[in-house]
């Protein structure tokens, strides 16, 4: 069975710019991204200590051939070790009525899988949240250290589709929604 691996430095693109250019401040960076709406997802994994998960606004479709998604997980997050050690994860896309679920999985120290959270073991043992508009069960293929996060690239192997008519989004520090 293939395991995920760390991205090889030889597979990266050349970086432009000069060595004396420093990054912008964290506040400036956050200020720019506060103006960009992001879809809200919850990533879950099963570990030796039980289920783990977190709210992610970094979910991105990377490729359609083969299908690949990416998300970032903070190295200080309580779920980081479980997600990084897991071979399989589930990515749940949230609907506008799931603000409290998103807040629970974003809250430090919360028992995220206790009631009222409803979940069951899915393929490969990954925790699947009930009532979400859509979910992907994914096999991790790359872990890439990226600043204070790890960037995970994963290949969806099961899709659970519902009605994503009113997705939950995050903008300017608040949850909201958009309609089609």
The four Cα atoms 80, 118, 98, 113 give a dihedral, to 10 degrees, of: -30
pLDDT tens by residue, 127-157: 999 999 999 999 999 999 999 999 999 999 9
68: its two tokens: 């690949």
The arithmetic mean of pLDDT across residues 72-89, rounded, is 94
Q: Which domains does the chain have, with CATH numbers?
A: 37-162 (2.30.110.10)
Over pLDDT 70: what percentage of the chain?
Answer: 87
Burial letters for 129-140: b for 16+ Cβ neighbours within 10 Å, e otherwise? beebbbbbbbbb
**Is cis: bond before 35, omega within 30 of 0?**
no
pLDDT tens by residue, 3-58: 555 444 445 555 565 667 888 888 887 877 777 878 899 999 999 999 999 999 99
**pLDDT recorded at residue 73:** 95
**pLDDT recorded at residue 18:** 62
Cα torsion 109, 138, 102, 115: sign: negative
Q: What distance in Å separates the CA atoms of residue 169 and residue 150, rounded to the nearest whole number?
A: 22
**Segment holding 32, helix H or strand E:** helix 26-33
Alpha-carbon distances, residue 94 vs 43, 126, 167 (angstroms):
11, 17, 6
């Amino acid at each position: 069975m293939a395991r995920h691996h760390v991205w090889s430095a030889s597979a990266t693109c050349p970086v432009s710019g000069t060595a004396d250019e420093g990054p912008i401040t964290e506040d400036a960076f956050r200020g720019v991204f506060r103006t960009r709406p992001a879809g809200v997802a919850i990533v879950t994994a099963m570990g030796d200590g039980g289920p783990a998960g977190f709210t992610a606004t970094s979910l991105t479709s990377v490729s359609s051939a083969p299908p690949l998604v990416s998300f970032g997980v903070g190295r200080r997050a309580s779920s980081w070790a479980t997600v990084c050690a897991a071979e399989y994860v589930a990515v749940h896309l949230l609907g506008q009525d799931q603000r409290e679920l998103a807040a629970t999985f974003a809250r430090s120290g919360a028992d995220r899988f206790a009631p009222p959270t409803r979940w069951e073991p899915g393929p490969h043992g990954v925790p699947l949240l009930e009532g979400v508009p859509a979910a992907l069960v994914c096999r991790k293929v790359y872990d890439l250290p990226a600043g204070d996060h790890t960037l995970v690239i994963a290949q969806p192997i099961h899709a659970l589709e519902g009605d994503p008519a009113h997705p939950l989004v995050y903008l300017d520090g608040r949850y909201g929604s958009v309609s089609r």
